[in-house]
Amino acid sequence: MSIEDRKTGGAERSARRTGYRDASDRPLGTPWTRGRVLASAAVPVAGLLAFPAVVPNAVGNLGSLLETFLPWGGLAVPILLGLALLRRSALAAVSLVLPAAVWGVVFGGRSLPADRGATGDLTVLQHNVGEENPDHAGTARALVRAGADLVALEELTPEVLPVYEDVLASGHPHRAVVGTVGLWSRYPLADSRPVDIRPADVGPDWNRGLRVTARTPHGEVAVYVAHLPSIRIRPSDGFGSGRRDESAAKLGAAVASEALNRVVLLGDLNGTLDDRGLTPLTSRMVSTRKGFGFSWPATFPLARIDHVMTRAATPVAAWTLPATGSDHLPLMARVDL
């Protein structure tokens, strides 16, 4: 065997031991010095998960866009971990403890399933029934089977309103409807009136806010039903939440001036609890943080934009129900008065 053959054989044995073909194929450095760029990426990921407010809304409302899908930011951890394994970098892998820990602190409680067996004084149901829903009668029957005391609905067009009136009437004889939002109740309702949450550039025929007093066995409760403007993502203006934010501010002001102490808000708010655009509401009201309860889109839920919020009352638990014909999932909640 020649010297050259012995060198080739040694190289082959080394390749079998290390998994690399030759020295040029081997990553530079050691597992604790390789992957510094990947390791440094863990810091901004953790920072954005913990402090999303540092991203401004000045350009395309990027801050609100980030906050809308903030829980999904945790997916950066397994992605970076996969890259760290490919790079064979122990440094990059260990650095991911930081964003993983931050995600656990911020969202760990929400990852726990809602306690559907929890007791409460009031059971409420919120659902955007969807204009494109092909089976409103089936949706209405599903809502009746849920057994809620209060049922709040949005996108009630004049054509489908009689369907819900007919199906819900037996178990919920009391109702109040304003524009395209409505509330059905087991208990008597009084003092029903519209709530003006129209953005400045929207005409007077746009009615998506309702306030009514529910006379429950535990006392009177002011119930608000609202459907805030939808958000569109366009290249020209980014995350178009301006109208939604304006409407949320008006709704927050209405809640702040409410004379009754106990308030329950049910609605499609087109925003998540983390979105700063809903601060006029989240700063005045509370919502259960247990369970993600993603409600939209129904085919693959990515965000909870349907909400049950309260003032001077405690939302004990909230969870989504099986899909109806709507592009939203119904949201069920129990409230302790």
Say if residue 260's pLDDT is above 90. yes
pTM of the model: 0.88
Q: Which of 220, 214, 145, 219 is nearest to 186 (CA)?
A: 214
b/e sequence 114-141, b meaning 16+ C-beta within 10 Å: beeeeebbbbbbbbbbbeebeebeebbe
CATH superfamily for 122-336 is Endonuclease/exonuclease/phosphatase (3.60.10.10)
Distances (CA, A) of 114 to 58, 104, 109, 330: 36, 17, 10, 15
Q: Mean of the per-residue pLDDT values for the chain? A: 91
Distance (Å, whole) CA 153 – CA 185: 12
Residue partners of 159: CB distance under 8 A and separation at least 6: none
Most confident of 5-9, 59-63, 123-127, 286-290: 123-127
The per-residue pLDDT for 291 is: 84
Q: Is the dihedral of CA 107, 113, 118, 124 positive or negative?
A: positive
61-77 pLDDT, tens digit per residue, is 999 999 999 999 999 99
115-164 pLDDT, tens digit per residue, is 777 778 999 999 999 999 999 999 999 999 999 999 999 999 999 999 99
9-30 pLDDT, tens digit per residue, is 554 554 455 444 444 555 668 9
Name the segment(s) of the chain with CATH classification 3.60.10.10.
122-336
